[in-house]
Structure 1
Amino acid sequence: MSVANASPSLRIQVRGVEPAEPAAAPTLRFLLRIDASTRAPIRALTLATQIRIDAPARAYDESDRQRLKELFGEPGDWGRTLSSLLWTQTVTHVPPFTGGTSAPITVACTYDFDVAATKYLHALQGGEVPLRFLFTGTVFYDDGGLLRAGHLPWDTEAGFLMPVEVWKELMDRHFPRTAWIRLERETFDRLYAHRVRHTMLGWDDTVRSLLDTNEG
């Protein structure tokens, strides 16, 4: 195998998104269309993908702005603080093809509210999430009977508008009517002691009692 400075040009588009089935944990599958500039056989493609939420690329109503204050600060400062967010990074191995092919990118999702992307997606009430897919990787291709390898150009990328409802329905499927927060053990012990002391049946009752007391 020899190494070439330039590989066949690849055009990559994101055509859709769907829940991955079956999946024990919440997972989305983004559907790619990959087209090569040559009919030479592509022997393999190792595709590294960084997915970013292009937050400045959509509009926000007042409710969105209030719910996103933890991420971006006061709405009056958004001209300075509103920026893109890293969602995830993946590596996909695409099998041989000639001309063009379809391939999925699988993205594991989390409901961990310590993750900025989760806070952002949870805060939105509707509309679409502007995503940027930034691709790097190595393409192995046939060149006159020789196997060559080349790298994808640094500016290989694609945009995609993901409906917010896709993510919310996925979370509802795996965590129906619930959300998750992580507590320090000392805080949990105090919360548990409060629950036992007041003979409360569940964690919702425990937290509601504290909220009601504070709001009262």
Structure 2
Amino acid sequence: MTKLGFACTGVRSDPYAAGPTLVFRLRITGPADTRVHALALQCQLRIEPARRPYGEAEGERLGDLFGERERWGSTLNPIQFATVPLLVPGFTGETEADLVVPCSYDLEVACARYFRALEGGEMPLLLLFSGTAFAGPGGFQVTPVPWDQEARVRMPVRVWREAVDQHFPGCGWLRLPEDLMDELLAHRSRRALPSWEATVRDLLATAAVREGVR
């Protein structure tokens, strides 16, 4: 089996991607005397929420994911972030490669809600690697890359916000079922509201008035 090692040396946002995208810089090491012709990797990224502290406001926003803070000893479980493929060209000894990871901004997805809840600091991530290594000094040996190959990285929250703000500056979006969208469209038309923002604000204002009456 070809001995490989993985490390993440940094992460940045991609300003030219079609959607919010993070780029993880990987350093991959192999035997100094063996040519690795190619690596076909499957890379799984997980959030490790127990590996950082949380302020009071962050804790309140994370309640729907982890429950009350008193329960966090048993509820701060890893969250799946993404699984992406990566094809690494041939190298001997050591190489570097970019792992490109699209980010969801759908707040129905747990990782997006987690990221949005954080005010600053770093996000603790675990990168797990598996796949196939094609290597050999003169021939062609095919060996698996086991799942115990991993790397940890603490990604600054600002990097994720940069990736999102490049495409959704100062705003977000919600996914709603079609029947509810039809009702919202009908409400907007009846009230001659100029935008979806005005529609939601009108509904919130109506709800506030009703609560005040009660």
With normalisation by structure 2, the TM-score equals: 0.94
Q: Aligned to 1:13, which of 7, 27, 33?
A: 7
Q: Which residue in 2 is equivalent to 1:3?
A: none
Query: Mapping of 1:32-111 within 5 angstroms?
Result: 32-111=26-105
Query: Mapping of 1:63-212 within 5 angstroms?
Result: 63-143=57-137, 145-212=138-205
Unaligned runs of 5+ in 2: 210-214
* Closer/same/farther in 2, CA of residues 21 and 197 from structure 1, 3 Å limit: closer
- SS across alignment from 1:211: helix
With normalisation by structure 1, the TM-score equals: 0.93
Q: In 1, are the aligned partners of 2:15 and 2:166 still within 8 Å (CA)?
A: no
Deviation track 1:107-150 (CA, whole Å, cap 9, x = no partner) reads 0112111111111101111110000001111111113x221111
**Aligned AA for 2:96?**
S
Unaligned runs of 5+ in 1: 1-5
- CA-atom RMSD in angstroms: 1.2
**Aligned AA for 2:5?**
R
- SS across alignment from 1:95: strand
Write the distance in 2 (CA, Å) between the matches of 1:13 and 1:71.
29
Write the distance in 2 (CA, Å) between the matches of 1:51 and 1:85.
9
**Aligned AA for 2:171?**
T
Deviation track 1:187-209 (CA, whole Å, cap 9, x = no partner) reads 11111111111111111111011
**Aligned AA for 1:67?**
R
Deviation track 1:2-48 (CA, whole Å, cap 9, x = no partner) reads xxxx22x1111001111225211221111000111332111111111
Structure 1 residues 145-154 or 203-212, which shifts more?
145-154
How many residues are treated as equivalent by the alignment?
A: 209
Share of identical aligned residues, percent?
43
Write the distance in 2 (CA, Å) between the matches of 1:181 and 1:204.
12
